[in-house]
Amino acid sequence: MSLSSIELFAGAGGLAMGVALAGFRSRAIVEWDRWACDTVRQNQERGHPLVKDWPLFEGDVRHWIRDFDAGSLEGRLDLIAGGPPCQPFSMGGKHQAFNDARDMFPATVDIIRRLKPRAFIVENVKGLTRAAFHNYFQYIQLQLEFPELQRKPDESWADHHKRLQAFKTSKRRGGTGLSYQLVTTLVNAANYGVPQKRERVFIVGFRRDLDVRWSFPHETHSLDALLHDQWVSGEYWERHGVAAKHRPELSKPHAAVAARLRGLGLPPTRLPWLSVRDALRGLAEPRETEGTSFFNHRLQLGARSYPGHTGSPLDLPAKTLKAGDHGVPGGENMMVRTDGSVRYFSIRESARLQTFPDGYLLHGSWSEAMRQLGNAVPVLLGQVVAASVATHLLEADQRQMALCSLDLTGQPA
């Protein structure tokens, strides 16, 4: 049985591609930004296997759900996935949360209430967990847990929050109504094989009637393993052919970790974090004129380093790519070589840091493409989460089939 999914706030398609790689068949891809939609359409025209059959809707999710034929789902939707716009909670935004017109969590809850998916994956920025947003973050989770307990006309979000809290603790609510079992996790993408230190919040929910016991997938990669690979075994430098004189200076904190690892005498059990050097392996230095070997791989001029704007070291995972261009605060969209010189990442290099396939093109200028990539979920991270969700949904199907094979006496039919 194939699993079905709908992607909201799809952007350039990072999470949606991860969901597709996990085995879900998309019934709708919804995105309002025309540049991101052009990226998807351009790759569909080129026949990219992950996106060529996506039913793309360009427009507001609130308009889409009014026109969407829920009957086309044949009574079953396995997954809704998406990352509502993060600007209301972003460290670089105005931090207005519920006062920001771009807050799409209410629309997300409304769609979940209408379509009743068996599971959902909601992703957002780490800023959502800040103390200033604590109450609203709890409110978001309660709405996702009990989507049918809607906000009343003229009811403030704070009063709705109190009503949801009272409902959650009430002994009278029983097992009736649509509700979800939630797992909320702050995740560093580098711990799952993404060559980027990208912290994001995932809220994953399973419908309670499925009786799924889910936890976030175990981390597979670590900084300790990378430092061991570099400064204990030295295999990292040999693999990349980097002579001793071209290796970076080891920072004091990392030197202390390397000394501890050396003293243990055993390698870490996890795989090494992937570095920028790992991610860019096989890519030549970008030139001002784009070559033919890799698309979106042209040198963007003007990078410079100054205090607080230092770029990503070559031999560590990249800093979090930002949805900006030259002026992003920490220089996250540029790399710093071991000699201290800097340059901007090309679009293709940035796509690799987000684990997008090399054959996937980003539409628009460098600045526009960087905005799309900075807003995206790394494809690999999306796949890891969605694959785990898929496994648990299929196991729930197997349990249901086993129950159906028993008669009322508990004996096989």
Mean pLDDT in residue range 296-320: 92
pLDDT value of residue 308: 80
> DSSP string covering 185-204, please?
EEEEGGGGT-SB--EEEEEE
Pairing of strands 24-31, 56-58: parallel
pLDDT value of residue 365: 93
Q: Is the pLDDT of residue 201 over 50?
A: yes
Angle at 75 between CA 74 and CA 77, to 5 degrees: 95
pLDDT tens for 393-411 read 999 999 988 888 765 556 6
Q: Which residues in 246-381 belong to E strands, given as ranges?
A: 271-272, 312-313, 334-336, 342-344
Return the bridge partners of 6, or none. Answer: 28, 80
pLDDT value of residue 352: 98
Cα-only R_g, the chain: 23
pLDDT tens for 122-160 read 999 998 888 988 999 999 999 999 999 999 999 999 999
Domains identified in the chain and CATH numbers: 3-219+378-403 (3.40.50.150), 221-269 (no CATH)
d(CA 223, CA 317): 9
pLDDT value of residue 286: 93
pLDDT tens for 236-275 read 999 999 999 999 999 999 999 999 999 998 999 999 999 9
pLDDT tens for 17-50 read 999 999 999 999 999 999 999 999 999 999 999 9
d(CA 184, CA 143): 14
DSSP letter at 298 equals B
As a whole-number percent, the residues of the chain with pLDDT over 90 amount to: 78
Q: What's the mean pLDDT when you consider all of the chain?
A: 91
Nearest to 323 by CA among 16, 19, 35: 35
pLDDT value of residue 90: 46
pLDDT value of residue 94: 46
Q: Is the pLDDT of residue 168 over 90?
A: yes
